[in-house]
Amino acid sequence: MNLAGAFARSKRPSGLIERRCGWLSQRGEGLERSVFVPGLAAQFVLVGLFGMIVWVMIRRARGAKRLPRIRKIPGLEAVEEAVGRATEMGRPVHMTYGLGDIDDAPTFAFWGILGHVAKLCARYETRLIQTNNNYLVMAINEEVIRQAYAEAGRPDRYQPEDVRFLSPWQFGYASAVLGLFQRERPAANIMIGTFLAESLIFAEAGHAVGAIQIAGTANTTQLPFFMAACDFCLLGEEIYAASAYLSRDPVLTGSVIGQDLAKIFIFALIIIGTVIENLWPHNWFWDLLSR
């Protein structure tokens, strides 16, 4: 066996690799002559347009100008009812964001709803227990609740010990929440954020103590459990709309409205493109979007 010849043949590129290298060299020459990668110019324009729409809506929200109305979600009406029920029963309200991190979008939605619930609890003099499994998120939660109590004119009612760090591990945190439910027996359980396997554990524990439960998550694999075990459920992007509706924050409100307008534009573009492509195949519209 000629090992030297076999080694030389192994070092020689195959036909597929040679063709691939030639294609890449041609692409490279084309990229030097164009500003955008071929096929991505239209995407660049659309992303810039959507960003502009969101920016304009945020500016209008900050300027207190007229904006499209965010519809009221049925689950939001139950928030005040849940806090009022806890007040009547003399039992606390429990809130959790699940396993979310500080940079997760559902955690930002949770902060908007947390501030609203904290104001209601301060106004009704109802105890609010907020549990955590992330120390960074916990620090922000403390500030959100403290500010909400101050804005409600009841800073003396804020109790730092009720913002609790339980465990950084998923099922350690779930077990600690179960124990807290049995000891404190909250009358309302509000769960908004990122949830995994512990979602049904929390929901069943809240049901066992007779709590009215409001849940919402963008994790579609956990929504069936919340819908089956909770009284009210926010589905997917409704948690972001709920946060903007309750907090009235200009950035959140403008972002939600701007994104919805962008979705309407994309939907209209799909319909128009489908009709034109079926009537006149490979037309100017096709060429425009494929640049």
Locate the domains of the chain by residue range. Answer: 40-69+250-291, 74-248
Question: Can you name the CATH fold of 74-248?
Answer: Rossmann fold (3.40.50)
Q: Give me the sheet containing 188-194, strands edge to edge.
A: 163-165, 128-132, 93-98, 188-194, 212-217, 232-235
Q: Which of 96, 59, 56, 287 is nearest to 188 (CA)?
A: 96
Greater confidence, 117 or 17?
117
Q: Using one digit for the tens of pLDDT, what is the confidence trace for 183-239?
A: 999 999 999 999 998 999 999 999 999 999 999 998 889 988 998 889 998 888 788
Count the residues in the chain.
291
pTM for this model (two decimals): 0.73
How far is residue 276 from each of residues 40, 54, 63, 116, measured CA to CA in Å? 21, 28, 40, 48
| pLDDT given for residue 290 in this prediction | 65
Q: What is the mean pLDDT of residues 144-157?
A: 91
Q: Pick the range with the lowest mean pLDDT from 8-17, 30-39, 136-145, 265-274.
A: 8-17
- Round to whole Å and give the CA distance between 191 and 217: 8
